[in-house]
C-alpha cells in the first residue's frame, strides 16, 4: 500500500469523524412557558411538564434539539417573543391582531374555549349578571383583552364591569376564592382541572372558542426552519393514534383518541406531486393547496357553527335573536320549552301570541320603544301554555353589533322564575292575612270596650235594686233582676275574654315585671274559687312542695291564669276534688291544677287551646263558656316565658300543667 493511499484514507476518516461530531451537536431552541396547568407548568423539582412540553420534547428528541425553557408571566413571554428573545411560544391563540406581530404554525394543535367561574352559591348565570361585578382574568390573554374577550363582550352588552388583570390563572382563581373579585375568566382546560381545588364552580357563560398552536418571532432566524419541522411532526402525530400527541391528550386532559375524528393530508402527496410533475405542475399544486385550505376553513367554520349551536341547545336558559325591527329570527330549544311555543310559532311577532293577555299590551309597547331606541331591556312577564299552565319569566335583551359597531339586531334570554314569583305572592298573601287579622283584633277590642261600659252600668243598677236600696221588691221582681244580673255578668266575662284575646292578637298586651310571693297568690286564688267549689260539694286544696318563694313576673297575669284554670276545673267536675300543686323545676316553677272531672278524649286534646273551641258544643251543651279561657291562658303563659299542656283521660279527670320562669327576663 502506497503512502498516497494511506494519506487519502486518513483524510476520509477524519472527515467522517468530524462530520459525525458536527451532526451530533444539538440545536439550541429557546421556548417560552407560563404557568397554566395542565397545558404547561413547572413541577416541584424544577422540571417542565404538561401537554405542550410533552409533544415538543418528543419532536426535539427526534430532531436533536436542546430545549431551553424560559419561564415568565403570559405578558412577559409574548414580549420576549416580540423581541426575538425566544424562538417558540407554546399555547398561543390565533387572532388577526397577533398575526401582525408573530408567525404561527399552519397546524392547529388544540381547540379550546373560555368559561366564567364563581364561588359556590353565586347568582351569576348570564353575561348580564356580571353588571356591577368585579371580574379577574389573565393580563394580555386573548380571552381577557382580545377582540372577542370578556372585556369586549361586556362593552357590547352595555354592562359595567370592574376588570382586574392577573399574572397567572392561579392568581385569577385565588382572587375569586378569597372574595377579592366576584368571578374569574380562564380557559376550560385550566378551569375544569382546578375548580375543585379552589372551591369554585363553573357557570353557563362560555365565550370565545379559540385555536391554539405554536408562535414564532416574525423575523426570527430559526422561524422558518422550526415552523416547517414542527408542522410536519404535528401532521404525523395526528395521523398516528398511538403517537405522543394522543397520549398527551389522554394524560393531561382525559381525552381519548377514540373520541376524536382527525382528518389529515399525508405530507408526501404535495412533495411527490412536485417531484413527479416538476415545474409544469407547480400551478396545479398551488390550486390544490388553495382548495385544501378553503375546505379546511369551511370545515372549521361549520365546526364553529356546530359548537355555537350545541352551546345554545344545552344552555339552561332560553336564547332568542331578532332583526333590527325586533322580529324574532331564532329561538333555542330551552326557549321553546319555557314559553311553550315552537320555533315556527315564535318567529316574527308570533311569540306575542303566547304572552299572558294581562302582560301583552305593556310588554309589546315597551319592546317596540326599546328597539326604536336601540337600548337593552329587562322585563318580567308570563307565558300561557296550551294546557293553561302559566310560566313566569324574566326576559333580557341587548343590541347586537357588527364590525362597524352598527346595530344589526338583538340577542336575549328568558329565565323561568315561576317558583320565585310564587314565593313573592305567598309573602304578599301572608302579609295581607296578618294585617287583616290585626285589624279584626283591633275592631274586637274597640267594640268590647264600647259594650263593657253600658254593661257595668246595668250590673251596678241591678245590684242597687237587689240590695233594695230604692225600695222593697216582690218575689218575682227579685227573681227577674237576679236573672238580669247573672246574664249581664256572663256577658261581661265574655266581653273581657274577647278583649283579652284581641289585645293579645293585636300585640297590645303589656307585661309587667314585679316581685311577689307566689304562695300568697295561690291562697288568694283558692279563696276566690272556694265558694263555687263548696256549692258543688267539691274539695279544693293545694299541695305546695317548696318554701315561700318570690317570683319576678306579672302578678296580675299569673292570677288570671290560675283563676281561669281553677274555675274550669270546678266547672267540669261534678264530684271529687280539685288540687293545686306547685314545685320547683330548675329555674322554673311547675304549677298544675288536677281535677276528677269529665276528662278529655285524645282526639279533642289538640284543639283544646284554640280560640272559641269547646269540647261540649251544640245547642244542648251542659257547660256554659266562650271557648276563650284556655286560649287566653296559653297565650299569657307564653308571654310570661313559660309553656302549658294537658294530661287527661276521658272519664277520669284532667291535669293542666304550666311552667313559669322564677325570674322573667325583660326580653321575654
pLDDT tens digit string along 358-394?
998 998 998 888 888 888 889 999 999 999 999 999 9
Lowest mean pLDDT among 88-92, 205-209, 516-520: 205-209
Query: How far is CA 554 from each of CA 495, 501, 582, 629, 663, rounded to the nearest angstrom?
Result: 22, 17, 18, 18, 11
CATH number at residue 384: 3.30.450.20
Q: What is the mean pLDDT of residues 536-561?
A: 93
The answer on 373 and 342 residing in a single domain is: yes
Cα 584 versus chain centre, distance: 49
Bridge partners, residue 92, by sequence: 213
Position 271 scores a pLDDT of 53
Domain stop point among 456, 477, 506: 506
If you average pLDDT over every residue of the chain, what do you get?
Answer: 83
User: Domain range holding 440?
Assistant: 423-506
The DSSP letter of residue 348 is: B
pTM of the model: 0.37
Position 142 scores a pLDDT of 81
pLDDT tens string 389-404? 999 999 999 998 888 8
pLDDT tens string 138-150? 998 888 888 778 8
The answer on 377 and 352 residing in a single domain is: yes
Domain assignment present for residue 543? The answer is yes
The answer on 518 and 499 residing in a single domain is: no
Between 469 and 330, residue with greater pLDDT:
330
Position 476 scores a pLDDT of 87
Q: What does the block give as the cell for 177?
A: 376564592
Q: What is the mean pLDDT of residues 9-38?
A: 69
The answer on 382 and 433 residing in a single domain is: no
Domain assignment present for residue 281? The answer is no
Domain assignment present for residue 341? The answer is yes
- Indicate the number of domains in the chain: 3
The answer on 609 and 476 residing in a single domain is: no
Strands (E) located in 191-253: 200-217
Domain assignment present for residue 191? The answer is no
Q: What does the block give as the cell for 449?
A: 270596650
Position 441 scores a pLDDT of 66
Count the neighbouring beta carbons within 10 Å of the beta carbon of residue 665: 9
pLDDT tens string 283-329? 666 666 656 665 666 565 555 555 555 555 556 788 899 998 889 99
The answer on 454 and 316 residing in a single domain is: no
Q: Which of 424-428, 478-482, 533-537, 657-661 has the highest mean pLDDT?
A: 657-661
Residue 523 pLDDT more than 90?
Answer: yes
Q: Show Cβ contacts of residue 182 under 8 Å, excluding neighbours closer than 6 positions.
A: 118, 122, 124, 130, 133, 134, 135, 176
Position 507 scores a pLDDT of 74
CATH number at residue 430: 1.10.287.130
The answer on 616 and 545 residing in a single domain is: yes
Position 307 scores a pLDDT of 55
The answer on 534 and 453 residing in a single domain is: no
Domain assignment present for residue 358? The answer is yes
* Residue spans of alpha helices (H) in 467-554: 475-505, 518-535
Q: Report the alpha-carbon distance of residue 289 to residue 208 in Å, rounded.
A: 28
Lowest mean pLDDT among 88-92, 161-165, 491-495, 643-647: 491-495
**Are 90 and 34 contacting, i.e. CB atoms less than 8 angstroms apart?**
no
CATH number at residue 626: 3.30.565.10
The answer on 453 and 322 residing in a single domain is: no
Domain stop point among 479, 506, 533: 506
Q: Which of 591, 578, 585, 569 is nearest to 637 (CA)?
A: 591
Q: Report the alpha-carbon distance of residue 445 to residue 450 in Å, rounded.
A: 9
Residue 198 pLDDT more than 90?
Answer: yes
Domain assignment present for residue 104? The answer is no
The answer on 461 and 413 residing in a single domain is: no
Share of the chain above pLDDT 90, in %: 43
Domain stop point among 402, 417, 432: 417
Count the neighbouring beta carbons within 10 Å of the beta carbon of residue 649: 12
**Are 612 and 604 contacting, i.e. CB atoms less than 8 angstroms apart?**
no
The answer on 413 and 305 residing in a single domain is: yes
The answer on 535 and 496 residing in a single domain is: no
pLDDT tens string 255-280? 665 544 433 344 444 555 556 666 66
Position 183 scores a pLDDT of 96
Domain assignment present for residue 145? The answer is no
381 phi/psi in degrees, rounded to 5:
-155, 180
Domain assignment present for residue 339? The answer is yes
Amino acid at each position: 500500500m502506497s503512502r498516497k493511499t494511506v494519506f487519502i484514507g486518513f483524510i476520509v476518516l477524519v472527515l467522517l469523524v468530524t462530520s459525525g461530531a458536527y451532526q451530533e451537536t444539538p440545536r439550541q431552541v429557546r421556548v417560552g412557558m407560563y404557568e397554566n396547568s395542565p397545558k404547561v407548568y413547572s413541577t416541584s423539582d424544577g422540571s417542565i411538564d404538561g401537554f405542550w412540553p410533552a409533544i415538543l420534547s418528543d419532536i426535539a428528541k427526534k430532531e436533536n434539539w436542546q430545549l431551553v425553557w424560559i419561564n415568565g408571566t403570559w405578558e412577559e413571554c409574548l414580549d420576549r417573543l416580540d423581541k426575538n428573545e425566544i424562538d417558540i411560544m407554546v399555547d398561543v391563540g390565533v387572532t388577526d391582531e397577533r398575526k401582525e406581530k408573530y408567525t404561527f404554525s399552519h397546524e392547529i394543535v388544540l381547540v379550546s374555549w373560555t368559561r366564567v367561574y364563581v364561588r359556590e352559591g353565586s347568582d351569576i348565570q348570564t353575561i348580564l349578571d356580571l353588571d356591577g361585578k368585579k371580574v379577574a382574568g389573565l393580563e394580555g390573554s386573548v380571552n381577557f383583552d382580545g377582540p372577542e374577550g370578556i372585556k369586549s363582550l361586556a362593552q357590547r352588552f352595555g354592562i359595567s364591569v370592574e376588570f382586574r388583570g392577573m399574572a397567572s390563572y392561579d392568581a385569577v382563581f385565588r382572587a375569586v376564592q378569597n372574595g377579592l373579585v366576584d368571578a374569574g375568566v380562564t380557559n376550560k382546560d385550566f378551569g375544569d382541572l382546578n375548580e375543585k381545588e379552589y372551591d369554585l364552580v363553573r357557570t353557563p357563560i362560555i365565550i370565545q372558542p379559540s385555536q391554539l398552536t405554536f408562535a414564532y418571532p416574525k423575523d426570527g432566524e430559526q422561524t422558518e426552519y422550526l415552523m416547517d419541522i414542527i408542522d410536519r411532526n404535528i401532521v404525523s402525530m395526528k395521523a398516528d393514534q398511538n403517537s405522543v400527541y394522543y397520549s398527551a391528550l389522554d394524560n393531561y386532559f382525559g381525552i381519548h383518541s377514540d373520541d376524536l375524528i382527525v382528518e389529515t393530508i399525508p405530507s408526501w402527496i404535495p412533495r411527490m406531486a412536485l417531484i413527479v410533475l416538476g415545474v409544469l405542475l407547480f400551478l396545479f399544486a398551488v390550486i390544490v393547496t388553495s382548495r385544501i385550505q378553503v375546505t379546511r376553513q369551511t370545515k372549521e367554520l361549520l365546526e364553529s357553527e356546530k359548537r355555537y349551536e350545541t352551546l345554545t341547545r344545552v344552555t339552561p336558559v332560553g336564547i332568542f335573536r331578532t332583526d333590527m325591527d325586533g322580529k324574532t329570527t331564532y329561538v333555542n330549544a330551552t326557549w321553546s320549552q319555557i314559553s311553550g311555543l315552537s320555533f315556527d310559532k315564535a318567529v316574527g311577532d308570533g311569540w306575542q301570541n303566547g304572552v299572558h293577555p294581562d302582560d301583552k299590551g305593556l310588554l309589546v309597547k315597551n319592546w317596540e320603544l326599546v328597539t326604536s331606541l336601540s337600548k337593552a331591556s329587562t322585563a318580567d312577564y308570563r307565558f300561557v301554555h296550551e294546557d293553561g299552565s302559566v310560566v313566569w319569566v324574566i326576559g333580557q335583551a341587548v343590541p347586537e353589533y357588527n364590525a362597524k359597531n352598527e346595530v344589526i339586531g338583538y340577542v336575549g334570554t328568558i329565565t323561568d322564575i315561576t317558583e320565585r314569583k310564587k314565593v313573592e305572592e305567598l309573602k304578599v298573601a301572608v302579609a295581607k292575612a296578618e294585617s287583616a287579622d290585626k285589624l279584626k283584633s283591633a275592631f274586637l277590642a274597640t267594640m268590647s270596650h264600647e259594650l263593657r261600659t253600658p254593661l257595668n252600668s246595668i250590673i251596678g243598677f241591678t245590684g242597687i235594686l237587689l240590695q233594695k236600696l230604692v225600695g222593697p221588691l216582690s218575689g218575682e221582681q227579685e227573681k227577674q233582676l237576679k236573672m238580669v244580673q247573672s246574664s249581664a255578668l256572663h256577658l261581661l266575662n265574655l266581653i273581657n275574654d274577647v278583649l283579652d284575646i284581641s289585645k293579645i292578637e293585636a300585640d297590645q298586651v303589656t307585661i309587667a315585671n314585679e316581685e311577689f310571693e307566689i304562695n300568697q297568690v295561690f291562697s288568694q286564688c283558692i279563696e276566690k274559687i272556694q265558694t263555687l267549689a263548696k256549692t258543688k260539694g267539691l274539695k279544693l286544696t293545694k299541695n305546695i312542695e317548696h318554701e315561700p318563694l318570690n317570683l319576678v313576673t306579672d302578678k296580675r297575669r299569673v292570677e288570671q291564669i290560675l283563676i281561669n284554670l281553677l274555675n274550669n276545673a270546678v266547672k267540669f267536675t261534678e264530684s271529687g276534688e280539685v288540687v293545686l300543686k306547685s314545685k320547683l323545676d330548675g329555674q322554673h316553677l311547675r304549677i298544675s291544677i288536677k281535677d276528677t272531672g269529665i276528662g278529655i278524649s285524645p282526639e279533642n286534646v289538640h284543639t283544646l287551646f284554640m280560640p272559641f273551641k269547646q269540647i261540649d258544643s251544640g245547642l244542648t251543651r251542659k257547660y256554659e263558656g266562650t271557648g276563650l279561657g284556655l286560649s287566653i291562658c296559653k297565650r299569657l303563659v307564653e308571654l310570661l316565658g313559660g309553656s302549658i299542656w294537658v294530661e287527661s283521660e276521658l272519664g277520669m279527670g284532667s291535669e293542666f300543667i304550666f311552667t313559669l320562669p322564677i325570674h322573667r327576663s325583660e326580653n321575654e
